[in-house]
Amino acid sequence: MTQNIYDKKEFFEGYSQLPRSRDGLEGAPEWPSLRALIPDLHGLHVLDLGCGFGWFCRWAREHGAAQVLGIDVSEKMLARAAATTHDDAITYTRADMEHLELSPSSFDLIYSSLAFHYLENLQRLFSQMHRALVPGGNLIFSVEHPIFTAPAHPKWITDAAGHNTWPIDSYLDEGPRSTDWIAKGVIKQHRTIATYVNLLVSAGFSITHLDEWGPSREQIASEPEWADERARPPFLLLAAHR
Residues that bind its own copies (CB under 8 A): 147, 151, 157, 163-173, 192-194, 197-198, 201, 206-212, 214, 230-233
Least distance CB 128 / its own copies (angstroms): 21
Burial 18-44 (b: 16+ CB within 10 A, else e): eebbeebbeebbbbebbeebbeebeeb
Q: Given the DSSP bridges, would you call strands 45-49 and 67-72 parallel, antiparallel or unpaired? A: parallel
**Which residue number, 120 or 169, has a Cβ lying nearer to its own copies?**
169
Shortest Å, Cβ 230 to its own copies: 5
Render the burial of 115-139: b for 16+ CB within 10 Å, e for the rest.
bbbbbeebeebbebbbbbbeeebbb
Q: Whole-number minimum distance, CB 107 to its own copies, in Å?
A: 23
Q: How far, in Å, CA of 172 to CA of 144, rounded?
A: 16
Q: How far apart are CA 149 and CA 235, in angstroms?
A: 10
CB of 178 or CB of 198, closer to its own copies: 198
Q: Which one, 24 or 29, has the nearer CB to its own copies?
A: 29
Least distance from its own copies to the Cβ atom of residue 19, Å:
21
Greatest extent of the chain over all pairs of C-alpha atoms, in Å? 58
Q: What is the CA radius of gyration of the chain?
A: 18
- Smallest gap, in angstroms, from Cβ of residue 78 to its own copies? 33
CA 23, CA 233: separation in Å to the nearest integer? 22
235 phi and psi, to 5 degrees?
Answer: -130, 150
Please say which residue, 66 or 227, places its beta carbon nearer to its own copies: 227
Distance between CA 195 and CA 123 in Å, rounded?
10
Rounded least distance, CB 98 to its own copies, Å: 24
